[in-house]
Structure 1
């Protein structure tokens, strides 16, 4: 039975999926299995994967979305640990070895790493050398110190997590079209300590033309903000008030997203909803920019409406 199960969800990524698989097959850590969940691809994904069938566990299912594909992979996994990799991203050759060593050394259940963001056409070397002794590592007893830092905010493709913990959390919310990984990570942060290796052991593609499973809704920024608002609101309700520092930090972020939603709703002409969001934002006692945005919606809606009409008439 393998120690680590690497789950690769894919949808119409025939051009790139073998690159992701190859980055796992060249790992210096070898106690793993690869589970590729094909979420109803209509391109030639099955054909390009045929030479790999003896090296992977391939699962085909009807199109249900990335969360369902990941959950299918989790159910099929036999490893004690789970790692995720999008089908156009790559692992550094030492990723699993470095993370598993760090996990065992500190008795962790979750570990993240840094990322290297590239364009898919960019020529890059996923085998760059790493001095493990010089690599900055840290255990966050308070994971919100990691999550709320824009520079270190953890990304799902960098994570290794104990399978039993992931299952106890209910895995991924299949009703969410975006930000499902953010919801999971925030939920974990309420109860677990996070390990973090501040080195780019995962290479993430962010091509402008990227489309498919994991990014099918990424162009809808307003939808992402709505889901993020939902996640923050849930975290705000669940976080212990005795932890006043994190309570205030989440409260401030919630105020920020509420003020953004207030402005969005005002621009859409939903003035009742806009006022409601603006009032809620003011109650969060957040950053002055959130106050300013909320007051702008409450006191000068006519100006927002004027700008909206100008944009519509262009």
Structure 2
């Protein structure tokens, strides 16, 4: 089973990041490299991450396993709380705040897996996400896979389910950016076409459009495999109204770029 590198960029998500990391470590895929990159968080994130890593090594769990008739007690089986096989974890702490794009580019440059993805540190991966997305990549049926998602609140209530269209360049990039955030792709795409543009306000949109225009094969998996946390009443960072409006404006420019590329391609065919 091919190694998957999962990059988790962290900034001021101390109350959410442990659940995010749990959702990655407890995947049913057997070979995961987890790389956490904290961008000089000003909350308690560094301590939380450090204690989390210690817990992965040392925490135990138990369950009732056998009734001992002689002592009249229920004996418990004790075992490591976290999966100990097929997992490597690295934490990187930026020396100064560099911004989200620089932060996950740093993580991707550290990655060694054949396949890779980034997961926002307040989101949740469903347990079969990476094994499901990896299967077509392992069969070389695609270079990039993506799935559907829930939008959840802080109580994990489902606010809506977001079903994405099956891949078509026009639907996925020229109508609007509709590849979502539940993604996995061959790391060789970065080696061939570059990393995320640190000047782009919609960096994933720009990067994946670049992949697509250079011939990467995209495949939609019609399963809901990811939960995106709503930023309602928590409009900070990229979700600050000013920053988010700039992101939408930049995505509109990328959509027009995709339409121009598509029209040019059609005229050449």
Contact preservation (8 Å) 2:173, 2:258: no
Alignment of 1:116 onto 2:141? no
The change in CA–CA distance for 1:242 and 1:174 in structure 2 (over 3 A counts) is closer
The change in CA–CA distance for 1:184 and 1:219 in structure 2 (over 3 A counts) is same
Alignment of 1:83 onto 2:117? yes
Shift of 1:209: 2.9
Gaps of 5+ in 1: 125-135, 248-314
SS of alignment partner, residue 173 of structure 1: coil
The C-alpha deviation readout for 1:156-192, integer Å capped at 9, x for no partner, is x31111111123222111113x311111122122122
Counterpart of 1:203 in structure 2 is: 227
The change in CA–CA distance for 1:179 and 1:200 in structure 2 (over 3 A counts) is same
Counterpart of 2:210 in structure 1 is: 187
Equivalent runs, 1:97-246 vs 2, <5 Å:
97-123=131-157, 140=167, 142-148=168-174, 153-155=178-180, 157-176=181-200, 178-190=201-213, 191-211=215-235, 215-217=238-240, 219-236=242-259, 238-239=261-262, 241-243=264-266
Greater shift, 223-232 or 55-64, is seen at 223-232
SS of alignment partner, residue 159 of structure 1: strand
Contact preservation (8 Å) 1:110, 1:161: yes
Counterpart of 1:60 in structure 2 is: 93
SS of alignment partner, residue 243 of structure 1: helix
Gaps of 5+ in 2: 58-87
Shift of 1:36: 0.5
The change in CA–CA distance for 1:138 and 1:182 in structure 2 (over 3 A counts) is closer
Contact preservation (8 Å) 2:14, 2:44: yes
Greater share of residues in strand: 2
RMSD of aligned residue pairs (Cα, Å): 2.9
Please report the TM-score for the alignment, with normalisation by the length of structure 2: 0.75
Query: Larger RCO: Structure 1 or Structure 2 (Cα < 8 Å, ≥ 6 residues apart)?
Result: 2
Counterpart of 1:46 in structure 2 is: 46
Greater shift, 41-50 or 20-29, is seen at 41-50
The change in CA–CA distance for 1:112 and 1:149 in structure 2 (over 3 A counts) is farther
- The 2-side partners of 1:46 and 1:225 are apart by 31
SS of alignment partner, residue 165 of structure 1: helix
Contact preservation (8 Å) 1:82, 1:162: yes
Aligned length: 230
Shift of 1:148: 4.7
